Amino acid sequence: MSDFGTRQNLLLLLGRAALLRCPRCGGRGILRGWFNLQHRCPTCRLVFQRGESDYWLGGYTINFVVAETAAVVLIVALILATLPDVPWAVVTYAAMAAVVVLPLLFFPFSRTLFLAVDLYVRPSELGDRATGGRAGVSHHHDRGRR
């Protein structure tokens, strides 16, 4: 836990994210339900929302692109596998289900994966670890203590 400011291995970060663990420390219990992350990691105290209010926009974008791509791939695979007698009704229902279900299934992963990439690009800093309840205490707020 003394790895502030150091860049971690991207594959390690992504691997933890893929298991829905905290990308930085690998700790469990970072989800609050399927659609919400905890405010911070219960293990290493990393605050997950790092900055801007639209922070998760990147995660939503990843979610949408990956899930819909997966849906299209599945549908095309289904069509190719059943040629030339494609069961179009089945394909249609499968397509609708995939387009709706895959983004929901992938949702928490998109957030943790986004967090992992973000941690890689911007390694965690001291300000990310809120100790008392205030996040982001930084240089212009230290009162003579160094």
Chain residues that interact with Zn ion, rule: CB under 5 A: 22, 24-25, 27, 41, 43-44, 46
Q: In this structure, how many other beta carbons lie within 10 angstroms of the beta carbon of residue 106?
A: 18
Q: How far is the CB of 50 from Zn ion (least distance, A)?
A: 13
- Closer by beta carbon to Zn ion, 7 or else 77: 7
**Exposure b/e, 114-133, CB count within 10 A at least 16 = b:** bbbbbbbeeebeebbbeeee
> 31: which DSSP letter?
B
- Closer by beta carbon to Zn ion, 44 or else 117: 44
CA distance 109 to 55: 15
- Closer by beta carbon to Zn ion, 106 or else 128: 128
- Closer by beta carbon to Zn ion, 13 or else 41: 41
Q: How far is the CB of 54 from Zn ion (least distance, A)?
A: 23
Helix axes 88-121, 10-18, angle to 10 degrees: 130
Q: How far is the CB of 30 from Zn ion (least distance, A)?
A: 7
Q: How far is the CB of 102 from Zn ion (least distance, A)?
A: 27
